[in-house]
Amino acid sequence: MATIQDVARLAGVSIATVSRVINNSPHKVNRETRGRVLKVIQDLGYRPNALAKSLLNKKTMTIGVIIPDISNPYYAEILRGIQDVAEEHGYAVTIQNTDRNQERIIKQIYLLREKLADGIIFSGGIIHGFGPLSALREMREKVVVIGRHEVDFPAVRVDNIGGATQAIQHLIDLGHRKIGFIGGSAMSTTVMDRLTGYRNALAQNGYRPDEELIKEANFTPESGYTVAKAMLSQSNRPTAVFAANDQMAFGVIKAAREIGLHVPDELAVVGFDDIPLSYYFEPPITTVKIPRYELGVAAMQMLIDLINGNNFERNRWFKTELLVRGSTAKGR
Angle at 187 (CA atoms; ends 114, 234), nearest 5 degrees:
140
- pLDDT computed for residue 109 by the predictor: 84
Same domain, residue pair 192 and 170: yes
Question: CB neighbours of 217 closer than 8 A, spacing ≥ 6?
Answer: 182, 183, 184, 223, 224, 226, 227, 248, 251
Which residues are 93's β-sheet partners? 63
DSSP reduced 3-state for 7: helix
> What number is the average pLDDT over the span 89-111?
87
Element containing residue 135 per DSSP (H, E): helix 130-135
pLDDT surpassing 90 at residue 129: no
Domain extent, residue 44, equals 4-48
Residues 306 and 144: beta-carbon distance below 8 Å: yes
Same domain, residue pair 136 and 200: no
Number of domains in the chain: 3
**At 144, which CATH number?**
3.40.50.2300
Same domain, residue pair 231 and 297: no
pLDDT surpassing 60 at residue 55: no
C-alpha span between 136 and 141 (Å, rounded): 9
- pLDDT computed for residue 101 by the predictor: 83
Same domain, residue pair 282 and 164: yes
pLDDT band at residue 58 under the 50/70/90 scheme: low
Q: How many residues does the chain have?
A: 332
Same domain, residue pair 185 and 69: no
Same domain, residue pair 282 and 296: no
Same domain, residue pair 194 and 301: no
Same domain, residue pair 213 and 314: no
Among residues 277, 276, 227, 234, which one has the least CA distance to residue 254?
A: 227
Same domain, residue pair 14 and 97: no
Q: What is the pLDDT of residues 187-216, one digit of tens each?
A: 788 999 999 999 999 999 999 999 999 999
C-alpha span between 173 and 50 (Å, rounded): 59
Same domain, residue pair 249 and 168: yes
What pTM, to 2 d.p., does this model score?
A: 0.81
pLDDT surpassing 60 at residue 158: yes
The verdict on residue 53 lying in a domain is no
Q: What is the pLDDT of residues 103-112, one digit of tens each?
A: 888 888 888 8
Looking at per-residue confidence, does 14 or 180 come out higher?
Answer: 180
Query: Prior bond to 154 cis, omega within 30?
Result: no
The verdict on residue 12 lying in a domain is yes
Residues 162 and 319: beta-carbon distance below 8 Å: yes
C-alpha span between 231 and 247 (Å, rounded): 17
Residues 274 and 290: beta-carbon distance below 8 Å: yes
Same domain, residue pair 141 and 73: yes
Same domain, residue pair 260 and 218: yes
DSSP reduced 3-state for 181: strand
